[in-house]
Each structure stands twice: as structure tokens, then as C-alpha cells.
């Protein structure tokens, strides 16, 4: 089996999920609660990866982070090269999984009763306190769903990785790329083993999520 590729895929999925939690939670909170007039604009941009072919998104990211791209030029004085590197891959998959994280987050936040947020305000909690102590605890099923979907989605990504990362073993050669390589080389046995493993991991992650989300008698972790 492709231990190295598997490890790389899991690392990428974990890092992407972490980054999406950091960026996606505030963004989703803004989307859920803001009454700004240009909110639909942001909503549309966030949802774009759902409809764009991965190759299109990958193409633009590649242009941006290439040596002549705006991001590439900005970072090159510090010796940072994003194209065909793990960091570039991380950037691309974060963008690509954005709707998978932000939409469940925002739906979870929007379902929190307005009254409980108002009650928190009358009890002296400012917006940040209210978010941390009232909104997040009530919206955790949505947050969990968003995190799991981003993880699983990143694990299975192919097109964006191929465009942005190429196929460098240990750096950008993820599981899905490895499986593709095996099939190209007619190594069906190796492809089948890796594919089965990926299927099992994805299924287990989703099963665990839905089990924890059960309203009646949720499974306990401990």
C-alpha cells in the first residue's frame, strides 16, 4: 500500500480542516447573522467551488501562486514557493472545501434561536462571548458536520491536487493521485487495496459523525 501517499492525504485533510475551522467559523457566523446588503455576493463566492470544475479552480490557484502570479511574486522575496508544494496544496484545498465547511456551520448558527442570543446580550455578554457561550454550543451538530465534510472532501480530492500540486512523492502525491497512477500502470491490485482503504476510512468517519449527531441517545465517545 502507499503509506507515504496515505499519510500525506491524511495530513492534508487534517490541516485543511483545521484551517477551515479557523477561517470558516467566523465567516459562517458573519453569513448567519449579518444583515449587510452585499451578503449575497459573499454567499455566492463561498458556494462557487460547489459548481466549478476542480480543474478551473486549480487553474486559477496555480496562476495566482506561480512565479509570475500575484501571490507567487508577493511571497518569493521570502523564499516561499507555493506552486507544487504542500502549502500550495493546502491553500487550494482550503478554498475548494470552503462551502463544505461554511454552509453547514452557517446553517447550524442560523438555527440557534434568536431569543437565546438576545438573552445572552441582556445578561452582559458581548457578541464574541455570545458566540462562544451560546451559539457554538447549540450549533455543534452543524459545526461537526462541516468539519467532517471538509475532511472527507479533502481526502478524496483529485483534480485540484493534480493542477496545483502535481505528483511529487512525499510532497504532493496524495492517495487519489496514487490510485490514478496505479490504474494507469495497470497495477489493479495495488489500486484496489488503496481504494478499499480510502473507502473504509471515509465510511467510518461519516458513520461516527451521524452516530454522534443522533438526537435520541447519541453515542458517547467516552
Partner 1 sequence: MAPFLTADVAQSYPTGPSVEVRMELPGEGVTVLFGPSGSGKTTVLRVLAGLERPGRGRIQFDGVPWVDTAAGIFVPPHRRPVGLLFQDFALFPHLTVAGNLAFGLRDLTPAERRRRVGECAAWVGLAGLEERLPAHLSGGQQQRLALGRALVRRPRLLLLDEPLSALDGPAREELRRDLGRLLKDAGIPALLVTHDRDEALALGDRLLLMAGGRIRQEGSPAEVFSRPGDAELARVLGVGTVVKVRVLGPEHGLLRVRAGRAELLAPDPGGLGSEAYACIRGEGVALERAEPEGAATRNRLPARVAALERMDGLVRVHLECGFPLEALLSAWSCEDLALRPGDEVLALVKATAVHLVPAKEG
CB distance 161 to 176 below 8 Å: yes
Q: Which is nearer to partner 1, 23 or 107 (CB)?
A: 107
Stretch that binds partner 1, among 86-94, 133-141, 185-193, 205-213 (CB under 8 A): 133-141
d(CA 211, CA 200): 16
Task: Compose the 64-103 pattern: x for residues touching partner 1 by CB under 8 A, - for all others.
Answer: ----------------------------------------
d(CA 182, CA 12): 21
For CA atoms 22, 26, 31, 36, give the dihedral sign: negative
212 in contact with partner 1 (CB under 8 A): no
Q: Which is nearer to partner 1, 119 or 185 (CB)?
A: 119
Quick one: which of 138, 167, 202, 209 contacts partner 1 (CB under 8 A)? 138
CB distance 200 to 207 below 8 Å: no
d(CA 185, CA 96): 29
Residue listed under C-alpha cell 446588503:
37
Q: Give Cα 77 distance to the centre of its chain.
A: 29
CB of 122 to partner 1, least distance (A): 4
CB of 43 to partner 1, least distance (A): 23
DSSP secondary-structure letter at 131? Answer: I
80's torsion region: left (phi>0), alpha (psi -120 to 50) or beta?
Answer: beta
Quick one: which of 26, 137, 170, 218 contacts partner 1 (CB under 8 A)? 137
CB distance 84 to 168 below 8 Å: yes
DSSP secondary-structure letter at 78? Answer: G
CB of 4 to partner 1, least distance (A): 43
- Number of chain positions touching partner 1 (CB under 8 A): 17
Q: Which is nearer to partner 1, 34 or 129 (CB)?
A: 129
Residues from 164 through 183 that contact partner 1 (CB under 8 A): none
CB of 117 to partner 1, least distance (A): 9
Task: Compose the 100-129 pattern: x for residues touching partner 1 by CB under 8 A, - for all others.
Answer: -------------x-xx-xxxxxxxxx--x
Integer-rounded Cα radius of gyration of the chain: 20
The site for partner 1 (CB under 8 A) is made up of 113, 115-116, 118-126, 129, 133-134, 137-138
Amino acid at each position: 500500500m502507499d503509506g507515504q501517499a496515505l499519510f500525506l492525504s491524511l495530513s492534508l485533510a487534517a490541516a485543511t480542516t483545521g484551517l477551515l475551522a479557523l477561517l470558516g467559523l467566523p465567516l459562517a457566523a458573519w453569513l448567519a447573522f449579518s444583515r449587510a446588503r452585499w451578503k449575497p455576493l459573499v454567499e455566492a463566492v463561498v458556494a462557487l467551488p460547489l459548481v466549478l470544475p476542480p480543474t478551473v479552480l486549480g487553474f486559477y490557484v496555480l496562476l495566482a501562486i506561480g512565479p509570475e502570479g500575484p501571490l507567487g511574486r508577493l511571497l518569493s522575496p521570502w523564499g516561499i514557493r507555493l506552486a507544487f508544494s504542500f502549502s500550495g496544496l493546502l491553500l487550494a484545498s482550503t478554498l475548494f472545501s470552503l462551502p463544505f465547511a461554511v454552509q453547514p456551520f452557517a446553517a447550524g448558527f442560523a438555527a440557534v434561536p434568536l431569543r437565546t442570543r438576545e438573552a445572552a446580550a441582556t445578561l452582559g455578554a458581548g457578541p464574541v462571548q455570545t458566540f462562544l457561550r451560546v451559539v457554538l454550543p447549540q450549533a455543534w451538530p452543524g459545526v461537526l458536520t462541516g468539519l467532517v465534510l471538509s475532511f472527507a472532501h479533502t481526502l478524496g480530492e483529485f483534480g485540484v491536487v493534480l493542477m496545483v500540486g502535481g505528483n511529487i512523492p512525499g510532497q504532493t502525491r496524495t492517495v487519489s493521485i496514487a490510485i490514478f497512477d496505479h490504474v494507469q500502470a495497470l497495477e489493479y491490485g495495488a489500486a484496489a487495496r488503496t481504494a478499499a482503504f480510502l473507502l473504509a476510512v471515509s465510511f467510518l468517519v461519516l458513520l461516527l459523525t451521524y452516530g454522534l449527531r443522533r438526537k435520541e441517545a447519541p453515542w458517547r465517545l467516552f
